Structure 1
């Protein structure tokens, strides 16, 4: 570690209160010049809140405590104020405008102009220089929504570099990235470090934290617990987890003794085409089944067609020219809408909880009951007392950290939002639950709770399909695994025969065949 003279940032006794909740309680943080410093903690621990205080999103006067940046006290009222000092935050939800070009996005709000006229030639030239720094070779005029999430994340960093960033805050930057894009982004952080840029990294992926960070500050329940020095070598993930949850978490995946019954659900000869490009097949002649009491994992790289498969089954919410057969308990079923799927006892938890899963401007109560209004109403009139009791029961049983079921879901942490979606579909009492990236962007403690919920469901004889990009997760919770690539099912493994190496080998072999 560097000496105290090299401290670039010090946050002293930061306390931030929301109605009914103390989000930060006398938090202290010291960051050294030129280091990569990680903030770790469970969902709701206060990591993002602390960074919003630092960057002026929560302005001076709305919190208690002091911020010293380069040994000077800061009283930021807006994000513009912090950016003027070289502090730039990149949020988990990308803030790019999808219909503008790369160049327009990088310089929006910071336009290169003279007398109100933008110098587009200079915009293009500067954009090309910045893209080169982050390892992209795109045309500055490329519209952002045509690019992958990984490339958009790098454009966010290029945008930060355009503001002469000195302290870069990255909030879950790899949550939506595949392994290659994540690796590239981590390498870029190490390169920025060489250039003297200080980084603060918020991440639930502890292997990434261990790989790149010099220091790790752990928050728990809104308080700073400890700072670990990683400059001498990697800190074991179990040590970080212990600080986060306050105890040893010896097994990341709760034990379960499978009691697998008859086949509950089958998909036969299933084909789905891209609705925007009807000649492109996204799901190609897929055949799968899942039994009562069984967890079936679907592994594959991003873009393999797993989400498209799940959404097309769930009331044809994705796809065109869908063909094939769905069979439940030996009988063919016809599902044309989401209501048909719910009535047939099928539920789907989307990978995109913020945009497609939750109504963020409504409360926990309504988000839980929205798919089961028939259970809380009589002749079209909702019985509010029944609704409140149901929502309150789930708030307690699912350990949703909130002072009330009337709290807006948009104010919850990612893990608690995920529990609200799970509560919704468990309340609907499905026979088959399809979970798409159920633990993306949430911490190890919340993950364990969700795995326990999955175990409880299959113990009741329900069937669960889990789609996950994290191979350890698929291996840790599944009884059987399908492997998907380029819209096709290329393998099926019993869990006793499955390893990361076997799964990746099958994917690589399939990709090589596609390339021939």
Structure 2
């Protein structure tokens, strides 16, 4: 095969951090190379150099055998390089079509042509959206597919995909695989960053592993245990440390006949006649395809959406939160799906973010006792093994896995009895994922209730005592631990769609 991309001895430093140290990789035409490594290994930094995001770097890049001077995104586009970033680069206030062609407008924009091309790209991805829809009205999974459409709208030779399936359910993932196979069949080289090791068997021709900013090795065969050891530098214990056994206690949460109106402007799915329970010491999973209402269910329990019917009780007492603050006061916490947009103030410190929801606990004469606050945050950061230079370090500069741990620290400091988790392991490496799974198990062992929504079915199957399946805002099935299968869950997730066909 003809080598289309060669990155040789690439180095990059940030203040106090050596992010990349002499990394070299090659990719051939029509090849899918998976780039693996823990958060902070240097994967995104390497790809941001290729995409022109970081203009200063050491080493050399060749495209098609010729040296390419890439120091801006425009340089990258000129060489046929497109990147789908993990942290989506869309403008919420613009339409889908405007976002796809942003930066490539002509003096007189042919609106009809751009919308027609947008509609064609969206259809190819199985996305039922109007080109004129504002991005802020789209769900995060839809936004991820819009990023894919944006990349495909260019004349691509090398396509970088950074966690493209992190917000997608299985049906959308399958469609994305078809798109990738079509691209590689036309000679496009694909670099695929993913923390879902189960994807690699199906999509990757070769795997390159980075650790601590250095090239560790590559493999053509997919051996899960070997790859994990290469990534973390040590054997990793059980990914899903949830033991079988009845550890459930008294009923903690009861939802009966909950109905929540949808919202066409924001794309929020309506909830219809939702009934469920969560007991203390229990982990209950919520499965469903994109738009099924998983996030809406958790957000409604957290007081973010006002129900039109139904009743909720917490610890046996009526529970009618009119705001997230009231939910927090009653011992409910929500680890939101999009940590950067919904959970963190990226320009502020680890300490600021971790104590944000529990500041009232550290008040003394109407002033925050910084010593008590700092001690509490430091204990939680240490317990969760957050990798940070210090509590005053800017949280936006941490890796995705460590940012998620700060989100968890923030909610654990509120001492919740019920923890709602929406895609808690989205976009994080296997090491951090295993730690979060262990935390979920320990929280349940402490008697807390956990309600977790996830698009990763193996995660739900392994971690949950029960799994509820949503489709179009309704619960279509419930499976106890040990009786659920991926096939049964998917069948239930598509039940309403099949009925209306």
Instruction: Calculate the TM-score normalised by the size of structure 1.
Output: 0.88
What is the total number of aligned residue pairs between the two structures?
499
Provide the residue aligned with 1:105 in structure 2.
99
Distance 1:427 1:84 in 2: 49
Mapped contact 1:369–1:427 kept (Cα < 8 A): yes
Please name the residue that 1:21 is paired with. Answer: 17
> Are 1:243 and 2:230 counterparts?
yes
Superposed CA offset, 1:87-132 (max 9, x none) = 22121233333454454333332224xxx43345654676577668
Q: Which of 156, 166, 170 is the aligned partner of 1:165?
A: 156
Q: Which runs of 5+ in 1 are unaligned?
A: none
Per-residue deviation, 1:321: 4.4
Asked whether the equivalents of residues 271 and 297 of structure 2 are also in contact (C-alpha less than 8 Å), the reply is yes
Q: 1:332, CA displacement in angstroms?
A: 2.0
Shift of 1:418: 1.0
Q: For residues 114 and 298 of structure 2, what CA distance do their matches in structure 1 show? A: 42
Counterpart for residue 403 of structure 2: 417
Write the distance in 2 (CA, Å) between the matches of 1:281 and 1:20.
45
Distance change in 2, residues 1:457/1:338 (3 Å):
same
Shift of 1:451: 0.7
Q: Describe the shift of the 1:488–1:259 C-alpha distance in structure 2 as closer, same or farther (beyond 3 A).
A: same
Matched with 1:64 is 58
After superposition, the Cα gap between the structure-2 partners of 1:456 and 1:475, relative to the gap in structure 1 and judged at 3 Å, is: same
Taking the aligned partners of 2:264 and 2:188, their CA distance within structure 1 comes to 42
* TM-score normalised by L of structure 2: 0.91
Structure 1 Cα separation of the partners of residues 427 and 337 of structure 2: 10
Residue 426 of structure 1 and its aligned partner are, at CA, apart by 0.8
Q: Secondary structure at the match of 1:497?
A: coil
- Map of 1:141-156 to 2, 5 A cutoff? 153=144, 155-156=146-147
CA distance in structure 2 between the aligned counterparts of 1:144 and 1:286, rounded to whole angstroms:
28
User: Conserved in 1, the CA contact under 8 Å of 2:269 and 2:293?
Assistant: no
Is the deviation greater in 261-270 or in 249-258? 249-258
Distance, in Å, in 2 between the alignment partners of 1:488 and 1:334 is 21
Q: Which residue of 1 aligns with 2:50?
A: 54
Higher mean C-alpha displacement, 212-221 vs 255-264: 255-264
Conserved in 1, the CA contact under 8 Å of 2:283 and 2:466? yes
Compare CA radii of gyration and give the structure with the larger one: 1
Tell me the equivalent position of 2:202. Answer: 211
- Please give the secondary structure, in 1, of the residue aligned with 2:23: strand
Equivalent residue, structure 2, for 1:33: 29
| Contact 1:45-1:222 within 8 A present in 2 as well | yes
- Paired residues of 1:218 and 1:225 also in contact (CA < 8 A): yes
Q: 1:194 to 1:258 in 2, by over 3 A?
A: same
Aligned to 2:498: 512
Are residues 58 and 313 of structure 1, via their aligned partners in 2, closer, same or farther at CA, if it must alter by over 3 Å?
A: same
Contact 2:421 2:452 (C-alpha < 8 Å) held by counterparts:
yes
Q: Equivalent of 2:470, from 469, 478, 484?
A: 484
Aligned partner of 1:396 in structure 2 is 382
1:400 Cα deviation after fit: 1.1
Compared with structure 1, are the counterparts of its residues 50 and 158 closer, same or farther at alpha carbon in structure 2 (3 Å cutoff)?
same
User: Is 1:301 equivalent to 2:271 in the alignment?
Assistant: no
- Aligned pair 1:184/2:175, yes or no? yes
2:211 corresponds to? 220
2:254 to 248, 266, 274: 266
Structure 2 regions of 5+ residues with no counterpart? none
1:380/1:18 Cα in 2 relative to 1: closer, same or farther (>3 Å)?
farther
Is 1:21–1:403's contact at 8 Å kept on the other side of the alignment? no
Tell me how far apart the structure 1 counterparts of residues 365 and 143 of structure 2 sit (CA, whole Å): 49
CA gap 1:360/1:178 in 2 versus in 1, 3 angstroms: same
SS at structure 2 position matched to 1:261: coil
> Structure 1 residue 342: deviation in Å?
1.1
Distance change >3 Å, CA 270–CA 122, structure 1 → 2: closer
